[in-house]
Amino acid sequence: MTDSEPHLTEHRRTAAPAGAEDQARALRLVHGYMASQALGAAVRLNIADALAESPKSCADLAAATDTDPDALRRLLRALETLGLVERPSRTDLFTLTSFGDVLRSDADAPAHALANLFTSPAVWRPWGELHQSVRTGATAFETVFGMPAFAYIGRQAELSALFNAAMAETAQGAADVVAAGCDFSRFPTVVDVGGGNGTLLAALLTAHPGSRGVLLDTPTGVREAPKVLADAGVADRCTITTGDFFTAVPAGGDAYVLKSVIHDWDDEPARTVLRRCREAMPDHAKLLLVEPVLPGENGPAAELSVVLSDLNMLVMAGGRERTEAEYATLLDSAGLELVGVGGPLAPTHFQILEAVPR
């Protein structure tokens, strides 16, 4: 180095100032929403679908997605760092990773609609008011949009379609492990309460060919069910019923399955749904809830996915995740007795809670 060259201090390995690592860790959490929105942008721009056809240069991908090439390159740089795309030969050709493949709209295990929904204004804006929900106990969604979430979603055709698609993806991700996590062969007739497009019920009936199914949901919820059940080859063993589970549930089933239903509601409406199920159940029938279960007050720390889901219920729907003891109390108040709780169904956070009539 000559005297005319800039003098750079040689890097020395020194101990970080006290608290520096914790600060960096906090900043990673603070920046987390930026990664979520990068993923959401990729979905809304259909980048994964475009790359699924073949590797593309940034210029070709910009043309395929109608985006600004320079801005797209910046997004692709972030997606590469997040592990969603890669450049195998370190050239300008981008391709999907197996991780990024889930963002395709036709992926075998998709997260396309989920990513779109959870980074959309319908979820994004209420989460921005989480502090107000914590301060007041009120649901932020109603503060932002002026009505309960399900009422609002039902009035927005595009949002309703997106919500149903996202719920179908959630069901698809859990269907096989739920089917394997409980012996459904003991149930001649399985009633799926609030079962949406029938993804879960199709998996249960496929795994247990001796059983028949009844699918209950709103007309919008079951719109895609005939195709889903037919594609699975179980349509001849399933009856689709439209209705409101707050009003009535089909009678005479041997098992009543409610996946991700009870956590949507606070105790009083949840109790009403459970009572409608109890009224429909023969004395020998079982009720099976497929939900996350929070640890008790003196238990270990909860899984991150479960506590975030609990906050999402606070912000969005007014529901909640519950402990085993809270489920037992809630079921008891509806005339049901909790008799068993299965372990987590990996890789999901769901557990199966089994109850019987009292």
**Active site residue ranges:** 263
Q: Which helix (H) or strand (E) holds 287?
A: strand 286-291
Q: Which two tokens stand for residue 296?
A: 């008790």
**Residue 58 C-beta-side C-alpha neighbours within 13 Å:** 17
Sheet containing 56-57, strands listed edge to edge, beginning at the edge strand earlier in sequence: 56-57, 93-96, 85-86
Pairing of strands 336-341, 351-357: antiparallel
Cα R_g (the chain), whole angstroms:
24
In Å, how far are 99, 176, 203, 251, 350 from 198, measured between CA atoms?
26, 13, 9, 18, 18
DSSP state, residue 86: E
How many other β-carbons are positioned within 10 Å of the β-carbon of residue 182? 20
DSSP string of 92-160?
A: SEEEE-TTGGGGSTT-SS--HHHHHHHTSHHHHHHHTTHHHHHHH---HHHHHHSS-HHHHHHH-HHHH
